[in-house]
Chains A and B, each alone.
Chain A
Amino acid sequence: MPYRLLRFALSNQYREPRMFHTPERLKKSYDMVIIGGGGHGLAAAYHLAKDHGINDVAVLEKGYLGGGNTGRNTAIVRSNYLTPEGVRFYDESLKLFQELSADLDLNLFYSERGHFTLAHTDASLRTMRWRAEVNKHMGVDSEVITPEEIKRICPYIDLECGGDAPIAGALFHPPGAVIRHDAVAWGYAREADRRGIEIHQQTRVTGIETTDGGVVGVHTDKGFIETKKVLSAVAGYTPRITQMVGLKTPLVIQPLQACVTEPLKPWLDNIVVSASLHVYISQSSRGELVMGAALDPYELHSQRSTLDFVEGLSGHVLDLFPFLSDVKVNRQWAGMSDMTPDFSPIMGTTPIEGFYLDTGWGTWGFKATPISGKTMAHTMATGEDHDLIKPFNLARFENYELVGEKGAASVGH
């Protein structure tokens, strides 16, 4: 047993300090305000303080830390994207994730499992090869493998998929990992808090004040704050924020659902994704199977669950692993995904001076948490879009310069 655990045994009292504080009240003004106390907002706060020495920052969270999509996604980390812009960005993220437990001194259970994206048709196999080639070019460990190789690494999988959609091959991404998602938010919050950044939970933004095209302050249900720089990092709630500054975006909010089974002894080490079956599945360190599927088919600003989601998902899980018929689904939930037309994020500066966007995270936001925090912090500190996110600026749409990730992201969690 590690010494760190012994110290618990050696003390009579429980001496663990607070991870984060609850400030008495909002100050009159801050250098910067971050809307959204999820992974992205907290990571941005952490990097503002750590990389740029800026700590006069308030993080405003209408609910509780990591209560949005940070705590609702299926916690998969990977970088086997399709476009060079995407791969470069997500691979930086993955590298930060690998060191994150040490950097935040919190065990985030970062667990490299190997990530399969199954192909059931030669058309999807072509896309897999496209991704693999781009990935390899960018130095990312990613390979198209045969059904036999899949079987060797993941012996329980039924290559026939119940006969309806036999597996033709897969994109295999060894660094693909899962991680304890809530802890990511807590770790960033603790380190930001430790560096003097204020985290205000249960604080709702009600308006953003601008004069001649620039931000001057933020209205909240706890009073007005003067500030010149505001970051919106609220995923599914982004349209409500952009509305406050009169900014139009391509975002459409659609629910993404997920569910978990009762805990089982470990049997599935890998992360298995099938785009055409619309299912992705991994086993958590608690032993639960964590699963998700495609987006719900229409716009919705709520987190309701549906029965047809879990029916369809179950059918596809059994196509892959027929012996799970008697395993029980314990709980289902949903998050609100902020979808973009090209399945790439919208990040950085906007036409409104001092208003920064970190959105368009659709179904791929969690895996970008560290890098979006780092690049958005840089962008806010310097006023210039970080190089990694230049391709993702909102202006790309009116310039017809989309970054086509669709082939990699459709169900590529």
Chain B
Amino acid sequence: MIRDRLPPQPREWIDRGRTIDFQFEGGSCTGFAGDCISSALWASGVRMLGRSFKYHRPRGIYSLANHDVNDVVEDGVTTNIRADVTQICSGASYQAVNTFGGLKKDSARHIEHLSRMLPVGFYYKAFHTPRKLFPYWERKMRAMAGLGAINPKLPRARTPKDYDFCDVLVVGAGPAGLSASIAAAETGASVLVVDENLHPGGTLGYQWNSDASAARRFAQLMGKISSMPNVWIRTATEAAGLYADNWVALIDSVRLTKLRAGAVIVAAGCFEQPAVFKNNDLPGVMLASAAQRLIARYAVKPFQRGIVLVANSDGYCAAQDLLRAGVQLAAIVDLRKSPESPELVQPFNAARVPIFQQHAIYQARHASGKQGIIGAVICPIDDAGKTVTERAFKLECDGIAVSVGWMPADGLINQAGGKMKYSEQLHQYLPESLPEKVFAAGRVNGVYHLEAQLADGRRAGLAAAAAVGRNNGPVPEQARHEGPSPNHPYPVFPHPKGKAFVDLDEDVQYKDIVNAVQEGFDSIELIKRYTTIGMGPSQGKLANMNGVRILAKTRHQTVTQTGTTTSRPFYHPVPFGHLAGRSFHPHRLTAMHSRHQKAGAQFMPAGAWHRPAYYPAAGQGRDDAILAEVKTVRQGVGLIDVGTLGKIEVCGPDAAEFLERLYTGRFAKMRPGTTRYLLMCDESGVVIDDGVAGRLAEDRFYVTATTTGADAVYREMQRWAIIWGSSVTLANVTGQYAAMNLAGPYSRSILANLTDIKLDQDAFPYLGIREGVVAGAPARLMRVGFVGELGYEIHVPSQFGGHVWDRIMQQGAGFGIKPFGVEAQRILRLEKGHIIIGQDTDGLSSPYEAGMDWAVKMDKPFFVGQRSLQIIQKRPLQRALVGFTLPTDYAGPIPKECHLVIRGDQITGRVTSVAFSPSLNRVLGLAYVAKDQSGLGTKFTIRVDGRKEVEAEVVKTPFYDPDSRRQSETVEKPREAAA
């Protein structure tokens, strides 16, 4: 049934041709397409749309402007849906959130009977002793808190985000905004207008609903805009945040648009502000603008017999709209001695509507169950604004419309760092200082009359155009509001009994604020945190102003002295999905990635890279796979993709000098064709990276860096080159080269058939570097010893990587070649005692602690970190990295990396690397120990899982092949393979 639907309105939003059926709290309802949930329900006579946060009091339509946070529903899919701005969907089934047993029967409504026990901040004063009981109380309180419930079934939304650009963004498509956009566009600027409402027009669409001249104005504005190619209007789009350099978050139903605007005009209008009186929260009490929205947008009769509480001419206009809508007016109650002009009163005299000047509503009287109101208590107020209760009288009504003043929607201005100042004349905040290239227009500037708003919009449009260099013409002076203020300075009428609400989101009452002040929370920020006023989902848009006024009054201050809280993003709450968008996760693959996939590799992340960790054969476990790979390399031959290594070319006359300043070693005397280990420290002497430098020519070095360090190393190289004025040419070729390490006794035999480079020991000794052709591709070969076998690191331009890998695997088939991964390499290098920066060193390791003294040439004139190392050298060494083994017959639990070295009750170090070495058939590792534990043969204790303690012995590294014979020995093709 559509009880309260009015005949068609001039600019209504509903489509009477399409009725929509939906369910609310289990009951079926009908509305028209374009109805919001609240309007459809209200039209069907439903008055209780939700319950309040703390006391579970019934609540109805209040603002119908995206602030009705008590009218929040869930539809079985998503939650916290705001009924006052969300259109009804056919077949949807809505439930009010935060009820226990449904909206009507909500058992939590009984909490209100306890409300005397639950004054402001009650929860700070109880439940904490005895301590063991608090978890019980906390569970109870948490269960009461919160609005909607999550839906763990909901799939992740990957809604696209996009970027956009314009000269001028106009926020608000009301009279000021529309006229601003026209003025700006006329200068040639590109203009985007956004408005959170479904349709443009702002107040023109509801406040001036029945004003013919306003209607004509609106038509003119829209006509003009549609004729301009450089103005775009995005409705149902909200400017949620205004960040540095006019970076604006625009939110619509599907996406976040990140807009870069040259200038921003905030023409977002005002929020109508409530009056504070007893039961001012119950269904039927609403802002006059809400009543007007109901009538003009949805053609819904707000109530049958109403009272209008006014303090401005807007209230009288609203009262007329109500009359026209067939609402019987029990009275107009005007807080002022007299209205602006006698004309305002005449229509009501004609309609015999009593008008009570200098009266206030002292209380709304509610029906049983508080699910609506049945009347109001009205009483005169004295010149001080106090209610004269002995002369109070009652009137019957089922609705109260409140029109006592406005506050600017200045959220964006505050976010951008603008300052608002309270005008004691206009009783509202006005812009005091605006950020660069941000402008305000219309009612945000306190300009209320339609023609003045249009003029002010025009001014702002021209000013904005000038700010982006589009307009060199004059910019008119800003218009000011004329006549009396539409804002009442103190629309607050306390009642000794019962509840008068200041913040409906949080159920904060008048007395809560007074009591908080009594307890010493007497600054607005403390009040906010103690009473939670303004902390709810509507961020105090309808609460903060009255809160500040009450605080000011209580402390005998002016509003200006009292100050206000800072409003932060977002303007309205924004979904995670919108903010996350697709959330890109860039990742890097080597040229041989598909080969690894085909070989069944298990991948591991290394920075942005995916690297093969190991290659399990069918049915093979992790550890077996890794051990098998180790064996293959030691006894046969293996191939590992090392393409993720950083690769940097350092060229130019100063190349060698440059490396000597950057790294701890010496490079000047290196012969072309040789390589040398590199160690890098930061200025505090901490080890940060390592690699190999291969000298290709007098003026050209090929330098490797760790996978995760590469970018930073290259970046710092560039910076030092600038600071030192070095004559070097640098290139980060990490991604340009594919790289693989062919390692194992048979490596040379395999490679020999694929390259023109002479491989015999004399022509290409250990630690040599050569350039030539491998498998038809231009290649750089390095004989390096990281895994401790005869081996060749082969670098080719990455597009050849796959081909060269394939050819080596084919060529190696006869040798039983297998690919091996990072895990096997870790064991292989550990057997050789090679450290991994970042695993065997930490954020404070000096080369001396890491046992890298040999790589540090302190007698050089300079290198980064040298001066700090001189200081560190003078200090006793606290810890040392040593190699250790467990007894060969050890059978207990194997230590893990980062298990601690314990002496008595002291931590003296930790294990940094440990593994069972298949080659040496025992557990070995590296560990930091106290200096006095670091001598060869010293025994120390490692605490392993289960607090067991294991004794380890310090031994010399490398553990395996100490004199590195195997790196030069060559092994001929095995007989069985030959056969």
The chain A residues found within 8 Å of chain B, CB to CB, are 1-2, 4-6, 8-9, 14, 16-22, 63-67, 71, 84, 98-99, 101-102, 105-112, 120-123, 126-127, 129-130, 133-134, 136-137, 156, 162, 164-165, 180, 182-183, 186, 201-202, 261-267, 285-287, 304-307, 310-311, 313-319, 322-333, 341-342, 400, 402, 404, 406-407
Q: How far is the CA of A9 from the CA of B515 in the complex (A)?
A: 15
* Contact across chains for B244 and A107 when beta carbons are under 8 A apart: no
Residues 141-200 (chain B) with a chain A CB within 8 angstroms? 141-143, 145-157, 161
| Closest CB in chain B relative to A319 CB, distance in Å | 8
Q: In the bound complex, do residue A8 and residue B117 qualify as a contact, i.e. CB atoms below 8 Å apart?
A: yes
Nearest CB of A to B950, in Å? 13
The answer to whether B151 touches A106, judged by C-beta atoms less than 8 angstroms apart, is no
A332, B529: Cβ atoms closer than 8 Å = no
* Given A137-B907, A287-B146: A8 in contact with B122 (beta carbons within 8 A): yes
Q: A14-B511, A261-B573, A307-B241 are in contact. Are A266 and B146 (CB under 8 A)?
A: yes
Q: Which of B537, B844, B898 contacts A404 (CB 8 A)?
A: B844
Partner of A314 from the list B152, B576, B896 (CB cut-off 8 Å) is B576
30 A-B interface contacts by CB (under 8 A): A14-B119, A64-B526, A101-B129, A107-B125, A109-B123, A122-B604, A123-B838, A129-B897, A137-B943, A262-B80, A262-B148, A262-B573, A265-B143, A287-B146, A311-B256, A311-B579, A311-B580, A318-B583, A319-B583, A323-B152, A323-B154, A326-B78, A326-B575, A327-B150, A329-B579, A332-B568, A342-B844, A404-B844, A406-B843, A407-B842
Q: Is the CB of A326 within 8 A of B900?
A: no
Closest 8 CB pairs of A and B: A287-B146, A315-B583, A328-B573, A325-B577, A322-B156, A314-B579, A130-B898, A107-B128
Given contacts A329-B579, A331-B570, A404-B842, contact A263 B147 (CB under 8 A): yes
With a CB–CB cut-off of 8 A, which chain A residues contact B569?
A: 305, 307, 310, 331-332
Q: Return chain B residues, CB-CB under 8 Å to A99.
A: 131
* Residue contact B150 to A107, C-beta cutoff 8 Å: no
Q: Is the CB of A107 within 8 A of B515?
A: no
Contact A133 B519 (CB under 8 A): no
B125's partner among A4, A180, A182 (CB-CB below 8 A) is: A4
A contact residues around B244 at 8 Å (CB): 304, 306
Given contacts A262-B147, A400-B871, A287 and B142 within 8 Å (CB-CB)? yes
Contact of B145 with A318 in the complex, beta carbons under 8 Å: no
Q: For B391, list chain A residues within 8 Å (CB).
A: none
Q: Does B90 contact A (CB under 8 A)?
A: no
Q: Is residue B868 contacting chain A, with contact meaning CB distance below 8 A?
A: yes
CA distance A127 to B912 in the complex (A): 10
Residue B305 CB within 8 A of the other chain? no
14 extra A-B contacts, CB within 8 A, seeds A324-B576, A404-B844: A8-B119, A66-B529, A121-B604, A137-B907, A165-B605, A265-B98, A265-B143, A266-B142, A285-B142, A287-B142, A306-B243, A310-B579, A326-B79, A332-B569
Question: In chain B, what residue has the closest Cβ to A21?
Answer: B520
- Which residues in A have their C-beta under 8 angstroms from that of B135? 111-112
With A304-B244, A326-B78 given, is the CB distance from A18 to B150 under 8 Å?
Answer: no
User: B129 touching A102 by the CB < 8 A rule?
Assistant: yes
CB <8 Å contact, B529 and A265? no
B:128-142 near A, CB below 8 Å: 128-129, 131, 134-135, 138, 141-142
Contact B152 A311 (CB under 8 A): no
Within 8 A of A (CB), among B414-442: 415, 417
Query: Quick one: CB contact mask for B21-61 with A, threshold 8 Å, 1 for yes?
Result: 00000000000000000000000000000000100000000
Interface residues of B in 511-540 (CB under 8 A from A): 511, 515, 518-523, 525-526, 529-530, 532, 537, 539
B343 vs chain A, min Cβ distance (A): 44
> Out of B537, B898, B899, which one reaches A263, CB within 8 Å?
B537
Q: Which residue from B146, B243, B896 sits with its C-beta under 8 Å from A286? A: B146
B872 interface hit (Cβ, 8 Å): yes
Asked if B8 is at the interface (CB within 8 A of a chain A CB), the reply is: no
Whether A22 pairs with B522 at a CB distance below 8 angstroms is yes
Is B684 a contact partner of A400 (Cβ separation < 8 A)? yes
A202 to chain B: closest residue by CB:
B523
> Which residues B561-580 have CB closer than 8 A to chain A?
568-570, 573-577, 579-580
Q: Which residues of B contact A112 (CB under 8 A)?
A: 135
Q: Nearest Cβ in chain A — how far from B767, in angstroms?
A: 29
Task: Find out whether the CB atom of A315 lies under 8 angstroms from the CB atom of B575.
Answer: no
Quick one: which of B154, B539, B580 has the most chain A CB within 10 A?
Answer: B580
The yes or no answer to B581 lying at the interface (CB within 8 A) is yes
Residues A267 and B149 in contact, CB atoms below 8 Å apart: yes
B763 in the interface, Cβ–Cβ < 8 Å?
no
CB distance from A207 to the nearest CB of B (A): 25
| B464 interfacial contact with A, CB 8 Å | no
Q: Among the listed B150, B256, B521, B947, which residue makes an inter-chain contact with A264, where contact means beta carbons less than 8 Å apart?
A: B150
Alpha-carbon gap, A107 to B154, bound state (A): 36
The answer to whether B127 and A2 have CB atoms under 8 Å apart is yes
Q: B669 at the A/B interface (Cβ < 8 Å)? A: no
Set of chain B residues within 8 Å of A323, measured between Cβ atoms: 150-156
Q: Which residues of A contact B122 (CB under 8 A)?
A: 5, 8
Contact status A133-B526, CB under 8 Å: no
**Interface hits, B96-142 → A, CB 8 Å:** 98, 114, 116-119, 122-129, 131, 134-135, 138, 141-142
Cβ of B155: which chain A residues have Cβ within 8 Å of it? 322-323, 325
Interface centre among B131, B583, B868 (most CB of A within 10 A): B583
Q: Is B216 an interface residue (CB 8 A)?
A: no
B529 and A2 within 8 A (CB) = no
Residues of A within 8 A of B605 (CB): 120-121, 165
Contacts of B530 in A (CB 8 A): 182, 186
Across-interface contacts of B53 in A (CB, < 8 A): 263
B511 to chain A, nearest CB (A): 7
* B902 adjacent to chain A (CB < 8 Å): yes
Q: Which residue of A lies closest to B156 (CB)?
A: A322
**How far in angstroms is the closest Cβ of chain A from B99?**
11
B5 at the interface (CB under 8 A from A): no
B116 adjacent to A8 (CB under 8 Å)? yes
**How close is A362's CB to chain B, nearest CB, in angstroms?**
14
Query: Would you give the shortest CB distance from B50 to chain A, in whole angstroms?
Result: 14
**Quick one: which of A14, A84, A316, A317 has the most chain B CB within 10 A?**
A14
- Which residues on A sit within 8 Å (CB–CB) of B153? 323
B258 on the interface (CB 8 Å rule)? Answer: yes
Q: Check A16–B570 contact: CB distance below 8 A.
A: no
Query: B677 at interface (Cβ–Cβ under 8 A)?
Result: no
Q: Is B839 an interface residue (CB 8 A)?
A: yes
Given contacts A263-B537, A311-B581, A404-B843, contact A133 B156 (CB under 8 A): no
A19 in contact with B519 given A64-B525, A121-B604, A318-B580 (CB within 8 Å): yes
> Is B232 on the interface with A (CB-CB < 8 A)?
no
Among candidates A121, A267, A325, A331, residue contacting B568 with C-beta atoms closer than 8 Å: A331
In the bound complex, what is the Cα–Cα distance between A251 and B872 (angstroms)?
Answer: 22
Q: Which residues of A contact B899 (CB under 8 A)?
A: 129, 133
Across the interface, do B900 and A134 meet the contact criterion of CB distance under 8 Å?
yes
CA of A329 to CA of B573, assembled, Å = 5
User: Measured between alpha carbons, how far is A64 from B565 in the docked complex, in Å?
Assistant: 12
Minimum CB distance partner of A133 in chain B: B900
A326's partner among B116, B154, B256, B539 (CB-CB below 8 A) is B154
Contact of B243 with A107 in the complex, beta carbons under 8 Å? no
Instruction: Give A266 to B684 CA distance when docked, in angstroms.
Output: 48
Q: A134-B907, A266-B145 are in contact. Are A101 and B126 (CB under 8 A)?
A: no
**B875 at interface (Cβ–Cβ under 8 A)?**
yes
Selected from B131, B147, B579, B838, the residue in CB contact (under 8 A) with A265 is B147
